Structure 1
Amino acid sequence: MSWPLLICSYFRQEGVAMGRLTAAAMAATCIILAGLPLAAQQPSSDAHFKRDHQGQGESPTENGQQQIKPKIDVVFLLDTTGSMANLIQGAKVKIWSIAKEMLDAEVAPDLRMGLIGYRDRGDAYVTRSFDLTDDIDRIYAELLKFEADGGGDTPESVNQALDDAINGLSWDRGRSVYRVAFLVGDAPPKMNYTDDVKYHVTARRAAKRDIVINTVLAGSARDTAEVWREIARLAQGRFAAIPQSGNMQVIETPYDQDIQSLNQRLNRTALPYGGRAQQDEVLGKIERSAAAPSSVIADKSAYQKSKGAEEEIVTGRGELINDLASGRVTLDAVKPEDLPAELQGLSREEQEAAIAARAAERESLRRKINDLVTLRDGYIKKELARQGDTDSFDGEVGAIIREQGAAKGIAY
């Protein structure tokens, strides 16, 4: 039985209503689904879009024409030396909010994110790089591991970080992709190493590859500002200066606790599957989300709403309901020993009924969460208007993304 049909079967057997559909409409929907070929029954992770043979997303416009779904590849290069402690802590809290803002376009783009932390030679590490991925939960996990330490003398290995970002990561080379890097730090590059690639060489190379480098100065160091401006100019980016702390404001709302409570129930519908390593990774993502402050959980819920990821609890592969709904896997393709423990030993009909029951519960919870997210977004918008403009890291990133995205056809 196909994925939509097993849900329809469950609704018919249990008398569960889907959204506001009447019984007749539900029956009609199931009949239509029954007549679709398997490929049509398995939507992508965003049900409003399809994939062409080149992997480009498409969105139908009002006149029936197909519009290419935009794409964003974004990499953050963070100075992780001791003086950057407050900004790094702020980034951990605001990462989902920043990701959500990138998706808040007229047509939500496909988003991949990469991360590089850098210090200097003689510190615990020079750079730590995490490649571009649409698994934002994985980037969040790596960001949480960053701690501000080291430094000492002022210049840092900025040259190495830029080289790693532009030449070492798997950028999407599609012509319409908005490729962008944010270099964030408070110290200039160390220029007396003879075996690294200097920043001006890398910045020019980035410009040739249509990778924009924006520079964000934490603090007010004049020597850093001079270099940051040059890098941004060479790589067709923008320079911004923010307070040393990053000035990221967490706005708590009356809806955060309810969103957190509903997410706890949502997490209990998860069905990790696959090998032990894959299941452990999914469980780790769920545990990190559950342990996060309520504002972070609410920001992640807002990101998922903007993404249109109704079935998604965690990003990436390994959660059965999401992977079935997105067409990444079929139930027949999962080895019996790789099934979730709850499904092992059951007949196929019992497995399908159990999955459908959890999917229905998840859909109900997601609707409630999305309603609260809408109210929360309105509350935050009013509070930000009351506070006025602030020179914050997340505010600068959002403004730059909106401005530069327009050049790539991403309308915000």
Structure 2
Amino acid sequence: MKHIKHLFATAILIGATGTSYGCNLKAHSNEKITLYTEFTEEKPSEQFVKIALLLDTSNSMDGLINQAKAQLWDIVNEFTHAKCGTDLRPSLQIALYEYGNDNLSSHEGYIRQVLGFSKDLDEISEKLFSLTTNGGEEYCGEVIHTSLKQLDWGKNADDLKMIFIAGNEPFTQGKLDYKDAALNAKEKDIIVNTIFCGNYEQGISSMWKNGATLTGGEYMAIDHNRQVVHIETPYDDIIIKLNSKLNSTYVSYGAMGRQKKELQSVQDANAAELEEVVVVKRAVSKSSRLYQNSSWDLVDAAEEDATVLTQIKEKDLPKELQGKSESEIKNFVKEKKQEREKIQKQIQELNAKREAYIAKNQKNEKGELENAMLSAIKAQASKKNFTWNN
């Protein structure tokens, strides 16, 4: 009987501790219970924030797409300061789907994965700018289900996993019931947030609110055609000039190096086409820890793994480094790194002054989509013990 009581007490202890999770578990990793240590799994060394954007690209959604293009950098800049536990900084990954567009395959439910989870900010920007609108059928339940099935969401309970679906047609359209998709998401610890582009009450009556409620997500209604009024500051031009200098510190290598470096400039130009202030916000993102390009930039690659400089083949080097000795290559990369860090620090310092200027001269600069997303992100991240510190 004593043995049975002991097992029962152990089971309760395991159950009580096993259901408590959050990104702060890493901070308490030394607190082990010997009764079941052998059955616990080692916590992953990297924490993720995974966001899937499901955007309606039917005819009426041009305003939504433009807001997404412009507000991407605000979302990235917000996560620059996110913390998980005592000192862990989470990695941000974004995936992109479009739905409700006649140009898409009817067999696929007028749904297309534009980009799987990626931390490549230039690639995410490129894919957003590639979106075009055309009339179609908007199947919300099916696009949620598709993103759950196709994307690698991982199995770490400490990761923050969110879907943001935006559109303006009834949430009930399509053969696949949105309730089934929402329950599937909840089972996988994925929060579905819904953004109705139109009247708040209309979104409720067309089940957008219910679609969010089922997973503990937030329902929001926005005016997707509202023009965001940005305030210019005395620091914008300086940051833009520093952004150009920042680009010169990137040293492309490998088969994709040149193309990726060109993509960097193209996305700067895309941002400039929207508005000058978007270039500024993108420059701030590029000065942050989340803008990391080790797959094509020697400076970031060497920071990640110093042996890359001794192992790289001559043909994979940029022309200015071909024929150079190992020590010359190392010194060149070191100088570029120092130059980059100096420029990034200048941008961050100027941005702090810029934000203070905006706060003083305009109460609210944020766009409709950005407001909606940041509100949901902060509320849901706090439940997993994320904090925001500079």
- In the superposition, the TM-score normalised over structure 1's length comes to 0.75
One-letter code aligned to 1:377: E
2:69 equivalent in structure 1: 92
- The aligned length equals 340
> Match of 1:411, SS?
strand
User: Partner letter of residue 112 of structure 1?
Assistant: Q
Q: 2: CA distance between counterparts of 1:90 and 1:318?
A: 29
Distance 1:101 1:380 in 2: 16
Aligned to 1:322: 300
Write the distance in 1 (CA, Å) between the matches of 2:61 and 2:361.
27
| Distance (Å, rounded) in 2 between the aligned partners of 1:192 and 1:78 | 16
Root mean square deviation of aligned Cα: 3.0
2:191 is the alignment partner of 1:215: no
Which residue number corresponds to residue 396 of structure 1? 372
Residue 124 of structure 2 is matched in structure 1 by 139
CA 104–391 in structure 1, closer or farther in 2 if over 3 Å, else same = same
* Alpha-carbon distance between aligned partners in 2 of 1:372 and 1:316, rounded to the nearest angstrom: 26
Residue number among 170, 175, 192 corresponding to 1:188 in the alignment: 170
1:174 deviates by: 0.5
Deviation at 1:247, TM superposition (A): 5.2
AA aligned to 2:112 is R
Instruction: Give 1:70 deviation, angstroms.
Output: 4.6
1:116 aligned to 2:97?
Answer: yes
Give 1:246 deviation, angstroms: 5.2
- Measure the CA separation in 2 of the matches of 1:356 and 1:286: 23
Which deviations, in whole Å up to 9, do the C-alpha atoms of 1:18-66 show, x marking residues without a partner? xxxxxxxxxxxxxxxxxxxxxxxxxxxxxxxxxxxxxx999989xxxx9
Which aligned runs of 4 or more in structure 1 are off by greater than 6 angstroms?
Answer: 56-61, 66-69
1:92, distance to aligned residue in structure 2 (A): 0.7
In structure 1, the partner of 2:385 is 409
Alpha-carbon contact 1:70-1:410 (below 8 Å) kept: no
Letter in 2 for 1:140: S
Gaps (5+ residues) in structure 1? 1-55
Q: 1:308 to 1:79 in 2, by over 3 A?
A: same
Moved more, 370-379 or 233-242: 370-379
**Residues 280 and 304 of structure 1: is their aligned pair in 2 closer, same or farther, counting only changes over 3 Å?**
closer
Amino acid paired to 2:268: S
Q: Distance in 2 between matches of 1:384 and 1:254?
A: 14
- 1:335/1:289 Cα in 2 relative to 1: closer, same or farther (>3 Å)? same
Map of 1:308-387 to 2, 5 A cutoff? 308=289, 315=293, 317-327=295-305, 330-385=308-363, 387=364
Q: Give per-residue Cα distances to partners, 1:273-315, cap 9 Å, x unaligned.
A: 011x34312321233225522322321233345x436xx5x64
Classify 1:329/1:114 alpha carbon distance in 2 versus 1 (closer, same or farther; 3 Å): farther
Contact 1:137 1:315 in 2 (8 A): no
Residue 156 (str. 1) matches residue 138 (str. 2)? yes
- One-letter identity of the residue aligned with 2:165: L
> Is the 1:102–1:398 contact (alpha carbons within 8 Å) kept by the matching residues of 2?
no
Q: Distance between the aligned counterparts of 2:322 and 2:259, measured in 1?
A: 17
Q: Are the structure 2 counterparts of residues 127 and 382 from structure 1 closer, same or farther at C-alpha, using a change threshold of 3 Å?
A: farther
The question of 1:172 aligning with 2:154 is answered yes
> CA–CA distance in 2 between the matches of 1:397 and 1:328?
38
Change (3 A) 1:371 1:328: same
Show the 5 A alignment for 1:17-32: none
Quick one: structure 1 residues 60 and 283, their matched pair in 2 at CA, closer, same or farther if it must change by over 3 Å?
A: farther
SS of corresponding position for 1:78: strand
Q: Which residue of 1 aligns with 2:33?
A: none
Preserved contact between residue 186 and residue 221 of structure 1 (Cα < 8 Å): no
The one of 249, 262, 270 equivalent to 2:242 is 262
Equivalent position SS for 2:320:
coil
> Would the aligned equivalents of 1:323 and 1:329 in 2 still touch at CA under 8 Å?
no
User: Which residue of the partner structure matches residue 206 of structure 1?
Assistant: 185
| Counterpart selection for 1:76 from 50, 53, 56 | 53
In structure 2, the partner of 1:52 is none
Structure 2: any 5+ residue segments left out of the alignment? Answer: 1-22, 29-42
Distance 1:332 1:340 in 2: 15
Residue identity matched to 2:374: G
| TM-score computed with the length of structure 2 as normaliser | 0.78
- Tell me if structure 1 keeps the 8 A contact 2:191–2:216: yes
**8 Å Cα contact 1:136-1:315 kept in structure 2:** no
Give the CA deviation at 1:221: 7.6
